């Protein structure tokens, strides 16, 4: 598992703007990287193991999170195999928890980096504990009797000895975020400083929704000491020609519009709301080298890759003239020429996915079962042959001869399946699952 922990900068009241719930805003922004985002104590954690390839590797993912999160006032970022371990490393100012065994990193950390130790700080200090390693070296029986169970549970979860349970942040249907400015603003262009943070959050929300916007609104509330004639506040609607979620472009548009606005009274609070949200067509990133996109043929690229890595490393599937399911295709080196003869698929339903090895099914009477009774809807399609296919198994020569009746079957829980019954198996009736249909 690959966990990232983000810590917000401690905020003196007179230095930075604050929103109603900055951790929730940061968590909504983090949903663009993974759906597994949670708030743990004063940190936002996200499990990004499955997102590494999507964002072009761990280094690229780290750099993007590190760079973009600074605009949301994140001052510490850490990575570890557990979420509590990542939070502890972030509190200690250490980023990478993968350069060695996790327990070695955590044992050196001050015990204050784990929230569960706060209630017992005085007692643990009197026992001579200064680090998490000191607590781990205490007898577990004594710790469980003298302290609450949360302490041992948190230690085990941080060290990966016990599974962690999280309440994942759910993405909302709409986006609306408020920000209290650090001081009263008299000029409209000055609102951009705080509004940019809300726009960054909005773009993260849009990325998680795979959407873009053609309109959003910036609202501001006037100071309570205003004149009654100026009203409670104002708003500015920004529109785009096409759906988008680019922070820089949206902020440039906002700046151009704010330059033409005059505040009737000082503003203290601002709010950004997404108005017109539309599904954004995504452009799939190619898994092939850039030369393919530049016009070089796929065959030439595969030849070059095979020459560099070896022909056995680049394979492609090839149909063969064989009616047995397991041998209808084989893999051959990509640079090798394709056979001239083409195999026409049989005029019967063919499964989308085949199992590596047929799975023998349980029976109820004479009917096969797979997560319930199967209902046979098409068949039988008889397949025989393979006496010419000789192989050695444990130095004993044998053949891959098959004698089967194939059926298309319906499973109440698994959909459409491809099963077969072995013929000439004596008195015993044997059914096998071979594949499934998409």
Domain count, the chain: 4
pTM of the predicted model, to two decimals? 0.61
* Helix intervals (H) in 340-430: none
**β partners of residue 74:** 8
- What average pLDDT does the segment 170-184 reach? 89
Whether the bond between 380 and the residue before it is cis, its omega within 30 degrees of 0, is: yes
**pLDDT higher than 60, residue 257:** yes
Examine the domain organization and report whether 121 and 195 are in the same domain.
no
Q: Which of 180, 193, 194, 211 is nearest to 274 (CA)?
A: 211
In a domain? residue 340: no
Whether 165 is in a domain gets the answer: no
Cβ atoms of residues 175 and 274 within 8 Å: yes
Query: 339 in a domain, yes or no?
Result: no
Shared-domain flag, residues 206 and 304 = no
| DSSP class per residue in 33-56 | T-S-EEEETTEEEEE-GGGTTTTT
CA distance linking residue 259 with residue 391, whole number of Å: 80
pLDDT band at 347 (very low <50, low <70, confident <90, very high): low
Residue 69 structural domain: 3-158
The residue among 121, 74, 123, 78 whose CA lies nearest residue 102 is 78
Question: 12 and 120 share a domain?
Answer: yes
Find the length of the chain: 438
For residue 287, pLDDT beyond 70: no
Last residue of a domain, one of 242, 257, 279: 279
315 membership: H or E segment, kind and range: strand 315-319
Confidence category of residue 378, pLDDT binned at 50, 70, 90: confident
Q: What's the rounded Cα separation, in Å, for the pair 86 and 106? A: 10
| Range 13-33 average pLDDT | 72
| pLDDT bucket at 288, cuts 50 / 70 / 90 | low
Residue 253 is predicted with a pLDDT of 92
Quick one: how far is CA 7 from the chain centroid? 20
Are the C-beta atoms of 419 and 432 separated by less than 8 Å? yes
How confident is the model over 290-298, as a mean pLDDT?
58
pLDDT at position 38, please?
Answer: 93
Which range has the worst mean pLDDT, 30-39, 242-251, 293-302, 327-336?
293-302
**Same structural domain for residues 271 and 363?**
no
Query: Which of 348, 408, 423 lies closest to 376, judged by CA?
Result: 408
Same domain, 66 and 147: yes
Task: Check pLDDT > 80 for residue 212.
Answer: yes
pLDDT tens digits, residue range 65-81? 999 888 888 988 999 99
Least confident window among 86-100, 117-131, 228-242, 385-399: 385-399
Asked if 33 and 124 sit in the same domain, the reply is yes
* Predicted confidence (pLDDT) per residue in 319-331, tens digit: 777 777 777 777 7
Residue 14 has what pLDDT? Answer: 40
């Amino acid at each position: 598992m690959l966990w990232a922990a983000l810590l917000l900068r401690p905020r003196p009241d007179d230095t930075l703007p604050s929103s109603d719930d900055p951790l929730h805003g940061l968590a909504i922004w983090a949903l663009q990287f993974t759906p597994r985002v949670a708030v743990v104590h004063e940190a936002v954690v996200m499990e990004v193991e499955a997102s590494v390839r999507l964002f072009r590797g761990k280094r690229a993912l780290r750099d993007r999170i590190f760079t973009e999160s600074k605009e949301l006032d994140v001052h510490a970022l850490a990575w570890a195999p557990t979420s509590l371990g990542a939070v502890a490393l972030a509190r200690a100012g250490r980023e990478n928890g993968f350069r060695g065994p996790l327990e070695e990193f955590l044992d050196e950390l001050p015990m204050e980096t784990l929230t569960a130790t706060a209630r017992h700080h005085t007692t643990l200090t009197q026992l001579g504990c200064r680090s998490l390693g000191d607590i781990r070296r205490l007898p577990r029986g004594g710790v469980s009797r003298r302290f609450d169970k949360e302490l041992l549970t948190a230690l085990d979860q941080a060290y990966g000895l016990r599974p962690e349970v999280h309440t994942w942040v759910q993405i909302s249907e709409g986006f609306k975020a408020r920000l209290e400015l650090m001081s009263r603003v008299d000029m409209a262009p000055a609102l951009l400083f705080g509004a940019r943070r809300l726009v960054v959050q909005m773009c993260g929300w849009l990325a998680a929704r795979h959407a873009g916007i053609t309109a959003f609104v910036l609202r501001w509330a006037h100071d309570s000491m205003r004149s009654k004639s100026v009203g409670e506040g104002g708003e500015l609607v920004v529109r785009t020609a096409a759906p988008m979620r680019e922070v820089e472009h949206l902020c440039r548009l906002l700046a151009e519009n704010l330059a033409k606005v005059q505040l009737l009274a000082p503003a203290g609070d601002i709010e950004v709301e997404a108005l017109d949200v539309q599904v954004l067509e995504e452009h799939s990133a190619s898994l092939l080298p850039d030369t393919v996109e530049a016009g070089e043929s796929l065959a030439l690229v595969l030849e070059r890759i095979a020459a560099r890595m070896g022909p056995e490393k680049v394979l492609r599937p090839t149909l063969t003239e064989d009616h047995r399911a397991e041998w209808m295709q084989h893999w051959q080196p990509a640079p090798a020429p394709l056979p001239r003869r083409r195999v026409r698929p049989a005029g019967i339903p063919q499964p989308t996915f085949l199992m590596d090895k047929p799975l023998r099914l349980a029976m109820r009477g004479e009917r096969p079962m797979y997560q319930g009774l199967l209902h046979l809807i098409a068949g039988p399609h008889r397949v025989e042959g393979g006496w010419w296919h000789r192989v050695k198994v444990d130095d004993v020569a044998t053949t891959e001869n098959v004698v089967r009746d194939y059926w298309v079957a319906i499973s109440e829980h698994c959909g459409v399946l491809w099963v077969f019954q072995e013929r000439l198996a004596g008195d015993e009736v044997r059914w096998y699952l071979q594949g499934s249909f998409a």
